[in-house]
A and B are shown apart, each in its own frame.
Chain A
Amino acid sequence: MLRVDGLEVAYGDLQVVWGVSFQVPKDSIVAILGPNGAGKTTTLLALMGLLPVKAGSATFQGDSLVGLPTHQMVERGLVMIPEERAAFASLTVEENLDLGAYTPRARPSRAATLDEVYDTFPRLAERKAQLAGTLSGGERQMLAIGKALMARPELLILDEPSLGLAPIIVERIFEVIRDIRDRGVSVLMVEQHLEMALETADYGYILEMGSIVTEGAGSELEADARVQEAYLSL
């Protein structure tokens, strides 16, 4: 579904990502793991058109992503939830969710999707009229996911979904991620939280210093000695 080949990203003269390749097949959860500063977020931002791509290609359902404006990617079903505070603090929960269905594709089924989201996250329904900035960390992450779901994604990208959250909430989040996959939405996530991510993911890539050093099925990677090594170096 999503295929990235030899992606290179640079900030001016400073190159950060060196020829990264990965795939996200349909109905699967793929994780990109690695220590801080490895270039995970940079890769995602470049993929979504928020950073210039120096070289390489990326296709989503056959269409090239490089050069495509970000909002059009969302329109085609490629939705990313950025790291932390992905919701708009100055809008209410409902306004945020409503805004989530901004694209023409998601607009018609807005009401129905909203009901689905409230079903998945009853806490959000309770706090409909509250300003997103006043929610707790876990609630805000749920709002971020809910908002992304409003866009009726075909592939959902999550940047560090577990960051700054309590373990119980993290478990719930990963539960939701599995649920999303089961409903037919593919997932790509970037994580530092190795254990949970590898348990949930079908396939994983380890990114270190801007390059993929290892890849494999989730269970394989868990056992892999190199993964242990990278983990220890965190």
Chain B
Amino acid sequence: MRRSVTVVATVVTLGALIGIGIFSDSQHILTLSIQTMVLAALASSWNILGGFAGQISLGHAAFFGLGALIARELWLGGTSLAVAVVVAVAVTSVTSAVVGVPMLRFREIYFAIGTLALGVAVFITAGNLWPGISSLPAEALRNYDFTGPYFMALGVLVVAVVVSIWLKRSKVGLGMMTVRDDEEAAKATGVDVFAHKMIAFVVSASLAALAGSAFAYFSVSYYPNFPFSVIWTLEAILVVFIGGVGTIVGPLLGAVFFIVGRDALPTDIDEFQVVLFGLLFIVVVLLLPGGLIEAADRLAPSKKRETPRPQQTNRQQDKGKELT
């Protein structure tokens, strides 16, 4: 029963998204949708490392930015988009593998701080090396067609989701989750902890680069170091947790909730939007670690499993009777 509901829901959503892309004329809706899809893809990518493998990376934006940077530079320089994206993802993949070797040796909190330091360092460096604004040439601006960027973003999101689903169902994914739950125990049962962390790291980085490429293709003008900013990492994490960390749909739900929510709130309380989401995030982590998904689950309660009582004759009672 559950399975078919999921399939129907997926088909409907996909259909709706495609429909919007083809038929919508509203710049506003198209922009929002693209932003949502890019964020959802980025969040999904973080979810693979943080939700499946349990490694909290605070420098994720580095890969998002790298993907965006390479794709943008190549594409604006004349290369075809497809090639630009492939190169961006490939380079980021390799880079993440290289970076992962020393980084993944760090435990937990050191990993978080280390990736944060790395992310900030890369952000500053990118800003230094590419200080000027990156803008689409005037002609492209005049005839800006949303179709290309929209379907690229959609494609990227689909790829991210498919990879997530495949990973979650695979043996590799299972290995990652055992590493997340208890690294020592995983090691004891023969799981190659480092390899699994590395796979999660590289896949996560590659998908982030893909999302970055979509961002680069869609954005009109921005400072090249913007996609490297820690804001992206924060938003991805925020969105993943609000939606439901470790699930497939969580990051997607969270992204929709975030972007649509942010847009729906009146603009004159700009800062309060942030406050609201910040508070919501805190509430989620404290009370509802499973995010929106868990909230939905709770509304339809399932049977609770209790441990069975171990079998044994109640000798205490016998003995007690003997003594008194």
Contact = CB atoms under 8 A, between A and B. Distances in A.
Q: Do chains A and B touch in the complex (CB under 8 A)?
A: yes
Interface of A: 10, 13-15, 18, 21, 208-216, 226
A15 B316 contact: no
Interface in B265-324: 304-307, 309-310, 312, 314-316, 319-320, 323
B312 A214 contact: no
Interface of B: 304-307, 309-310, 312, 314-316, 319-320, 323
Given A13-B307, A18-B309, A18-B310, A213 B323 contact: no
Given A211-B316, A226-B315, A216 B309 contact: no
Nearest to B311: A209
The 9 closest A-B pairs by CB, nearest first: A209-B310, A213-B315, A212-B316, A15-B307, A214-B319, A14-B307, A214-B315, A18-B309, A213-B316
Interface secondary structure of A, over-half rule: strand
Given A13-B306, A208-B312, 6 more contacts: A13-B305, A14-B307, A18-B310, A211-B310, A212-B316, A215-B316
Contact of A215 (B305, B309, B314, B320): B320
B316 A214 contact: yes
Contacts of A216: 319, 323
A15 B306 contact: yes
Contacts of A208: 312
A116 B306 CA distance: 50
Nearest to A210: B310
Nearest to A224: B319
Nearest to A10: B307
Contacts of A215: 316, 319-320, 323
A143 to B, nearest CB: 30
Contacts of B305: 13
A209 B319 contact: no
A14 B305 CA distance: 9
Contacts of B314: 211
22 contacts: A10-B307, A13-B305, A13-B306, A14-B307, A15-B309, A18-B310, A21-B316, A208-B312, A211-B312, A211-B314, A211-B316, A212-B316, A213-B315, A213-B316, A213-B319, A214-B315, A214-B316, A215-B316, A215-B319, A216-B319, A216-B323, A226-B315
A18 B316 CA distance: 12
Most chain A CB neighbours (cut-off 10 Å) among B306, B307, B323: B307
B311 to A, nearest CB: 9
Nearest to B320: A215
A213 B311 CA distance: 12
Contacts of A210: 310
Contact of B312 (A10, A13, A209): A209
Contacts of A13: 304-307
Contacts of A214: 315-316, 319
Contacts of B312: 208-209, 211, 213
Contacts of B315: 213-214, 226
Contacts of B306: 13, 15
Contacts of B319: 213-216
B301 to A, nearest CB: 15
A21 B317 CA distance: 11
Nearest to B315: A213
A215 B316 CA distance: 7
Nearest to B323: A216
Nearest to A217: B323
A8 to B, nearest CB: 10
A226 B307 CA distance: 27
A117 to B, nearest CB: 38
A15 B304 CA distance: 14
A14 B319 CA distance: 28
Contacts of A21: 316
